[in-house]
Structure 1
């Protein structure tokens, strides 16, 4: 299996996976809405074949799926979720899997989200719906459920550009964090060893940190005080009921334990939070702060 279609190839997960595959002998078809973007141009220079379109372009998708052996499927991000956006995502994911079945794709790796099964109680049509369809279909496939991205801290909603750490999560609950480049590496490992991973669901994450521990690490690495702002769940409900319910679920139940033995048997070293801040995150946060000033 050498030819892989990477959905969302210019996004965080997609690009990390595309570059890993290219560096390890795969032929990559990179699905992108804008082939003229800097990210797409860099992928093409690295050896990817650009495919203009997105997952809603059925004919483009059908044609491309007929050329490949495997599919790395990640759905477009939704920052303000609702019942309507959840249902639309589930429908798009299943439509894509049906096209993969139709075109005889050998293996599909679907990138979901940690605790998707627990969210099923209040998000009945969402990522877990796509997972179930894949694993119950005639397709060979696996599901990877990444933890919180370290890169998300660079988003404006976290406020680090203004010297603040806006935290919507339970203040005392430790959650797992992962660098997106590690997702790309593990995705490549799964695709290289797809027969072993067929039918499996893997929670993929690294170190556990409470929000206050993240704050302490940020202050240490950036060498500056940062204002901690805890967002009340009432405010979250005003912004997105589904996200507020997720936060309540995390506070009440937490996440299931990650099988670190499985991960380390295939990938002995993950990027630590400190490493990410030293090599990438710290400089990007300082760039945000400089732009804000």
Structure 2
């Protein structure tokens, strides 16, 4: 194929770095937008052949420089609590890419973004209003930008979040005490996906733009209860993880963030379900949580042992 250039925003992040590596392996040229060009991830991408661009979502000229000569763009900024900055940042990226002549835009949104108005109480006074407004507004901005092709990817929760920076907020007792404390009903399941597979969907779309054009795809690898996840960590990693169900009040008293249960609450509120039959239409093999744990056993064991 002819070498097409893709701009990846947040290229040093979990999804962005996977995407950059996969695109380079597939023969694409990559413009990697990062805040720190000297980071370990950025230097690795540069070594693999990516062209690094130091930039900021508020710095329009930096976005314009990174957009020169691109065919496609992966739009991925981050929520800024209590503000609509994420929407503004995504609009800045989209505008810079479109002005530079990009033909294809992919935006990484989140499950339920298209149904956020069905959530009970949603409106300007709702605690998570700016989060949802930024996601749904960014989806509309991408669709209205005038790209020849566009695709929206809506991933579910990252399985990595059990073992990364968010774990301290969502699971404060996991790392030090090896307890997975949850205020959700024990039989409640939640969808999870590995970031590597989100990147695989984006690569598939960039390679086959016509097939993916105009599609919004809700992504998940597997749905499990939190009790089952604790059991799998125990069995696959070899470190005993105890599951503990507590009331919402006790969870709050023990410093567990309300975010821990919000996603399940939102899904239950609107009767949301992942369409797994639809996902079978796409050439991406799902990764089970057990497979993820097996593959990352050493790093997870180190995380839980420090």
TM-score by length of 2: 0.83
Aligned pairs for 1:1-293 (under 5 A) are 2-76=4-78, 81=81, 84-85=82-83, 87-120=84-117, 121=119, 122=122, 123=129, 125-139=133-147, 140-155=149-164, 156-157=167-168, 158=171, 159-162=173-176, 163-167=178-182, 171-230=186-245, 232-233=247-248, 245-261=262-278, 263-280=279-296, 282-291=297-306
Q: Distance in 2 between matches of 1:19 and 1:252?
A: 38
Q: Distance in 2 between matches of 1:211 and 1:105?
A: 42
Query: Structure 1: which 5+ residue stretches go unaligned?
Result: none
> CA contact under 8 A between 1:168 and 1:236: conserved in structure 2?
no
| Change beyond 3 A, Cα 1:54–1:252 | same
Shift of 1:104: 2.2
> CA contact under 8 A between 1:236 and 1:243: conserved in structure 2?
no
Query: Structure 2: which 5+ residue stretches go unaligned?
Result: 123-128
Question: Which structure is higher in helix share?
Answer: 1
Q: Distance in 2 between matches of 1:119 and 1:242?
A: 16
Shift of 1:28: 0.4
| Change beyond 3 A, Cα 1:19–1:190 | same
Shift of 1:77: 5.4
1:140-179 C-alpha deviation (Å, 9 max, x unpaired): 3110011211111102322432212244655432122111
Q: Distance in 1 between matches of 2:269 and 2:282?
A: 32
Aligned-residue Cα RMSD (Å) equals 2.5
> CA contact under 8 A between 1:28 and 1:49: conserved in structure 2?
yes
Matched position secondary structure for 1:94: helix
TM-score by length of 1: 0.87
Question: Looking at both structures, which has the greater relative contact order when contacts are Cα pairs under 8 Å and sequence separation is at least 6?
Answer: 1
> CA contact under 8 A between 1:170 and 1:247: conserved in structure 2?
no
